Amino acid sequence: MRIATTTTTTSWVQPSPLGPLSITTTPAGVRSVWFAGTGHESGPPDTVVAQAFGEYFSGDLQALDSLPVDLDGRTDFGRAVLVALRALGSSRLTSYGELAAAIGRPAAARAVGRAVGANPVPVVIPCHRVLAAGGSLGGYSGGLDTKRWLLAHEGWLPQPTVVASGTPAPTRPR
Protein backbone atom coordinates (compact mmCIF):
# COMPACT_ATOMS: atom_id res chain seq x y z
CA MET A 1 0.00 0.00 0.00
CA ARG A 2 1.34 3.40 -0.97
CA ILE A 3 0.65 6.24 1.43
CA ALA A 4 0.31 9.68 -0.15
CA THR A 5 2.36 12.50 1.26
CA THR A 6 1.75 16.21 0.98
CA THR A 7 4.23 17.92 -1.31
CA THR A 8 4.70 21.62 -1.90
CA THR A 9 3.87 22.41 -5.50
CA THR A 10 4.13 25.54 -7.60
CA SER A 11 2.08 25.98 -10.76
CA TRP A 12 2.14 28.66 -13.42
CA VAL A 13 1.21 29.29 -17.03
CA GLN A 14 4.25 29.50 -19.30
CA PRO A 15 3.98 31.23 -22.68
CA SER A 16 5.21 29.18 -25.63
CA PRO A 17 4.95 29.17 -29.44
CA LEU A 18 2.39 26.36 -28.99
CA GLY A 19 0.20 28.48 -26.75
CA PRO A 20 0.25 28.62 -22.97
CA LEU A 21 1.61 25.62 -21.04
CA SER A 22 0.55 24.84 -17.47
CA ILE A 23 3.62 23.71 -15.57
CA THR A 24 3.74 22.33 -12.04
CA THR A 25 6.94 21.75 -10.09
CA THR A 26 7.74 20.22 -6.72
CA PRO A 27 11.02 20.30 -4.80
CA ALA A 28 11.88 17.05 -6.65
CA GLY A 29 11.43 18.54 -10.14
CA VAL A 30 8.91 19.15 -12.90
CA ARG A 31 5.72 17.27 -11.99
CA SER A 32 3.47 18.10 -14.94
CA VAL A 33 3.22 19.99 -18.21
CA TRP A 34 -0.20 20.50 -19.79
CA PHE A 35 -0.93 22.03 -23.15
CA ALA A 36 -3.59 24.78 -23.38
CA GLY A 37 -2.46 26.44 -20.16
CA THR A 38 -5.61 25.93 -18.15
CA GLY A 39 -3.90 25.26 -14.84
CA HIS A 40 -4.19 27.10 -11.57
CA GLU A 41 -1.35 29.48 -10.78
CA SER A 42 -0.12 28.96 -7.23
CA GLY A 43 3.01 31.03 -7.17
CA PRO A 44 5.78 32.57 -9.19
CA PRO A 45 7.37 30.40 -11.87
CA ASP A 46 10.39 28.31 -11.04
CA THR A 47 12.93 30.54 -12.79
CA VAL A 48 15.24 27.68 -13.81
CA VAL A 49 12.37 25.72 -15.39
CA ALA A 50 10.82 28.79 -17.04
CA GLN A 51 14.20 29.81 -18.47
CA ALA A 52 14.85 26.27 -19.77
CA PHE A 53 11.51 26.24 -21.62
CA GLY A 54 12.28 29.66 -23.11
CA GLU A 55 15.69 28.44 -24.29
CA TYR A 56 14.21 25.23 -25.75
CA PHE A 57 11.64 27.17 -27.76
CA SER A 58 14.38 29.58 -28.88
CA GLY A 59 16.32 26.68 -30.42
CA ASP A 60 18.48 25.19 -27.64
CA LEU A 61 17.17 21.64 -27.96
CA GLN A 62 19.17 20.40 -24.98
CA ALA A 63 17.85 23.09 -22.60
CA LEU A 64 15.31 20.75 -20.97
CA ASP A 65 17.61 17.73 -20.74
CA SER A 66 19.03 18.53 -17.31
CA LEU A 67 15.78 19.55 -15.60
CA PRO A 68 14.89 17.17 -12.79
CA VAL A 69 11.49 15.50 -13.11
CA ASP A 70 9.17 14.27 -10.37
CA LEU A 71 7.75 10.87 -11.39
CA ASP A 72 6.23 10.15 -7.99
CA GLY A 73 3.11 8.05 -8.34
CA ARG A 74 4.23 6.25 -11.52
CA THR A 75 4.40 2.47 -11.52
CA ASP A 76 7.83 0.84 -11.70
CA PHE A 77 7.09 -0.09 -15.32
CA GLY A 78 5.89 3.41 -16.24
CA ARG A 79 8.90 4.98 -14.54
CA ALA A 80 11.28 2.62 -16.41
CA VAL A 81 9.70 3.57 -19.75
CA LEU A 82 9.89 7.30 -19.06
CA VAL A 83 13.46 7.13 -17.75
CA ALA A 84 14.56 5.17 -20.86
CA LEU A 85 12.77 7.64 -23.12
CA ARG A 86 14.40 10.61 -21.45
CA ALA A 87 17.83 8.97 -21.77
CA LEU A 88 17.53 9.22 -25.56
CA GLY A 89 17.99 12.98 -25.34
CA SER A 90 17.43 15.08 -28.43
CA SER A 91 19.66 12.95 -30.64
CA ARG A 92 17.17 10.47 -32.06
CA LEU A 93 13.64 9.27 -32.63
CA THR A 94 12.47 5.89 -31.41
CA SER A 95 9.48 3.55 -31.67
CA TYR A 96 7.34 1.88 -29.04
CA GLY A 97 8.95 -1.46 -29.95
CA GLU A 98 12.50 -0.09 -29.63
CA LEU A 99 11.64 1.48 -26.29
CA ALA A 100 10.15 -1.83 -25.09
CA ALA A 101 13.37 -3.61 -26.06
CA ALA A 102 15.45 -0.92 -24.32
CA ILE A 103 13.77 -1.68 -20.98
CA GLY A 104 14.16 -5.43 -21.47
CA ARG A 105 10.49 -6.07 -22.34
CA PRO A 106 10.52 -6.52 -26.15
CA ALA A 107 6.99 -7.97 -26.24
CA ALA A 108 5.50 -5.03 -24.31
CA ALA A 109 5.25 -2.40 -27.08
CA ARG A 110 1.54 -1.76 -26.40
CA ALA A 111 2.12 -1.36 -22.67
CA VAL A 112 5.01 0.98 -23.46
CA GLY A 113 2.62 2.97 -25.65
CA ARG A 114 0.22 3.34 -22.72
CA ALA A 115 3.04 4.43 -20.40
CA VAL A 116 4.29 6.97 -22.97
CA GLY A 117 0.72 8.22 -23.42
CA ALA A 118 0.49 8.80 -19.66
CA ASN A 119 3.70 10.87 -19.60
CA PRO A 120 2.99 13.72 -17.16
CA VAL A 121 5.83 15.90 -18.45
CA PRO A 122 5.65 16.01 -22.26
CA VAL A 123 8.42 17.95 -23.99
CA VAL A 124 10.68 17.49 -20.91
CA ILE A 125 10.40 13.72 -21.36
CA PRO A 126 10.22 13.75 -25.17
CA CYS A 127 7.28 11.46 -25.89
CA HIS A 128 6.78 13.39 -29.15
CA ARG A 129 9.91 11.60 -30.41
CA VAL A 130 8.22 8.17 -30.19
CA LEU A 131 6.79 6.97 -33.49
CA ALA A 132 4.45 4.11 -34.25
CA ALA A 133 5.52 1.03 -36.19
CA GLY A 134 6.50 1.89 -39.74
CA GLY A 135 7.40 5.46 -38.82
CA SER A 136 3.88 6.93 -38.63
CA LEU A 137 3.35 9.65 -36.04
CA GLY A 138 1.00 7.69 -33.79
CA GLY A 139 -0.75 9.81 -31.17
CA TYR A 140 0.21 12.63 -28.81
CA SER A 141 -1.36 14.06 -25.67
CA GLY A 142 -1.06 17.59 -27.07
CA GLY A 143 -2.55 16.60 -30.44
CA LEU A 144 -0.87 15.65 -33.70
CA ASP A 145 -0.42 19.28 -34.82
CA THR A 146 1.62 19.88 -31.66
CA LYS A 147 3.65 16.71 -32.23
CA ARG A 148 4.37 17.76 -35.82
CA TRP A 149 5.40 21.25 -34.66
CA LEU A 150 7.77 19.86 -32.00
CA LEU A 151 9.34 17.42 -34.46
CA ALA A 152 9.79 20.23 -37.00
CA HIS A 153 11.23 22.53 -34.33
CA GLU A 154 13.82 19.85 -33.60
CA GLY A 155 14.62 19.38 -37.28
CA TRP A 156 12.95 15.99 -37.77
CA LEU A 157 10.20 17.32 -40.08
CA PRO A 158 9.92 20.36 -42.38
CA GLN A 159 9.16 23.57 -40.42
CA PRO A 160 5.40 24.32 -40.27
CA THR A 161 4.13 27.75 -41.20
CA VAL A 162 1.58 27.95 -38.36
CA VAL A 163 1.45 26.42 -34.92
CA ALA A 164 -1.44 24.46 -33.45
CA SER A 165 -2.99 27.65 -32.06
CA GLY A 166 -3.22 29.10 -35.59
CA THR A 167 -0.61 31.82 -35.07
CA PRO A 168 2.44 32.13 -37.33
CA ALA A 169 5.21 29.79 -36.26
CA PRO A 170 8.44 31.33 -35.08
CA THR A 171 11.46 30.46 -37.13
CA ARG A 172 14.00 28.21 -35.50
CA PRO A 173 17.59 29.38 -35.54
CA ARG A 174 19.64 26.81 -37.44
- Residue 127 annotated to the active site: yes
- Reference 123, options 64, 72, 59; nearest CA is 64
Q: Catalytic: which of 82, 100, 127, 131?
A: 127
DSSP structural state of residue 1: -
Map 87-100 to HEC letters.
HCCCCCCEEHHHHH
Sign of CA dihedral 73, 91, 12, 143: negative
Cα–Cα dist 96/99, whole Å: 5
* Burial class for 69, CB neighbours closer than 10 Å (0-12, 13-18, 19+): buried
Which residues have a catalytic role annotated?
A: 127
